[in-house]
Structure 1
Amino acid sequence: MDYGHALEFGAFITPTSAAPEAPVLLSQVAEASGLDLVTFQDHPYQPAFLDTWTLMSFVAARTETIRIAPNVLNVPLRPPAVVARAAASVDLLSAGRFDLALGAGGFWDAIEAMGGTRLTPGQAVTALEEAIDVIRELWRTDERRGVFTEGRYHRVHGAKRGPRPAHDIPIHIGAYKPRMLSLTGRKGDGWLPSLGYMKPGDLARGNAAIDEAAASAGRDPRELLRLLNIGQLAAEPREFAERLARLALEDGIGTFILAADDPNLLQRFGEEIAPAVREAAAAERERRGVASAPVRSSAALAARRDGLAYEDAPAGLRAIERGDFAYGDVRATYMRGGRPSIRST
């Protein structure tokens, strides 16, 4: 399965507290090497690691182009209303360079020791779904009414909306089991597993479960990005690139995130392997006739009015519809308000 996503490449860097400047310098190496994304694991109970939010903010200030994300954020110890404001703040300060990835939690002894509430696996999935709802609602500043949710584990009563992020922050989900895969398909923007935790066939099975859940929710499965944490899969760059190209073309992976704290390996990944994978995938996609165009979100499609020829907009015109992130900015002018079905910029 190839979803036609543009291929991106990132780094998964250890946020060590013993050498606090190391992850910052490695992030700068990743940026200089042309990587698209730098990510950090989030274990707030682990004193050997820097606090992930603090590190991401610091890295954002020390870089200029690379995107930054947790891999993945520990939701049981991160109140979602605070996460929403923190994520929007980093996104604004970095000019739209923040992505969000969430996890349901797993090290419950350590979570409980830090004051978190121990949950069963099923409860943790429910709590994560509630957290996603809270975060997304707080980002919706086109609505004036405060946010009210009545979740079992996360609830807000009249919280003010905002700040609005600089861009439409995607929410990726670290998922392996059926309920988490279903949640990813229904409410996530991307799937972020680690190859080292998977058995042969797990990627195909996971994609199928996500696609089924997305379709049941009225979504196009191509809306969801497929990301993958990987180690060094081969010592020889050509073989490494060939293996990644196969994962892109056969398992739909669009973003490869290399777990490495070696600056030379990160440089080689960005400067040699990534271009080779893009070239090989592009050639095969052209041969197969696979299109790599953006997909209109289900929210925008659901807001379309019958009888309007949305697809007939002139080529090259940037059309913004109801449900698009930028719609709230363009639906009205200083002279006139309203709710147009489509606007151009």
Structure 2
Amino acid sequence: MKVCRRYVVGLLMAGCLGACAPETRNGASEDRSSHLVALGAYLFESPRMSANQKISCATCHHPDRYFSEPRRHSLGVNGTDVGANSATLIGLANRTAFPPSPMVSGAQVTVLAGDAMTLEDRCLAPILNPVEMGSSLEAASAAIGADGNARVLFRAAFGDGAISRKRIGEALAAFVRSIEPPPSSYREFLEGRTEALTPVERRGLAVFEGRGQCAGCHAGATLTDGKMHVVLLPESRRARVRPRKQRARFGYGGGSDFITPTLTPTLWAITRTSPYFRDGTVSELDAAVRDHVRELREVAGVEPCAPRGREPAFLEISPPGSLQPTRPAPPPERLGSGEFAELLAFLATLSPRSR
């Protein structure tokens, strides 16, 4: 995988950033798109948008780790523990709406009810988050404006060097949308090379689509339905062992039955993006899958779990951009050891083969 700066250099070498004036010839929209992605890639790695000008988006979403965080928890401005693991950014190209950021909105309840955010706004949220980049859009814009390279890229993308909240969000979102799944056996299979998967891996795909019920949420080319689901109860083992700070961050605290829904993540590069779950508590894929299957069965009420006071709320993000109730997907069935091994074999095909 190419890191962002190499990506920008590649565009420069290809002549994509050669003209700063707006294009008037055929292909102008494609050229502007290339300029916008290049600007977004540059901003993604620029520390100027943080309060101390030492961390960037790439500090937590490592390009050489498929835009994920190898630490259990990401570290924000001044080394602050943000209380969560930063998930991969692969697979966001077709997602039109995102849950509001609880840290920015100031109340977790807005995750359960309220207008969803666009990708452009979601890309700006870490800049404002006091425990992530801890800055303001005014300060970030001023710092970027002092960077001569950034001004050149803004002129290439927009025709002038004006820097604004809207333009920063557009550029970052354009770059994130350009991040594609890595080359893998399953990508080759989807492109028509059925021999790209071994018989064991094809049986694992059948488990994924059938008894495992994985494809109900991890669907389509992006391997995510773009919806929010409750996948863990406060009484579940993994929730109970979280430190108090984490329980507050994720909505499980002090005996409360508050249940936070989770946006379905992609599974692309799954073997290369540990640790798993937003709390980063599980480092091995087989353990993560076992925990996830058990927890989904607990949520559905088909697996023993401590009594709960109310039914969990399942939400989806509808195309108009608001959070709406939705019914839960069917829980996975109990898998035999052979089926589980086949499922893991299939999941390995979502990442590049080890050299």
Give the TM-score category using the shorter length: under 0.3
Q: Which has the higher strand share?
A: 1
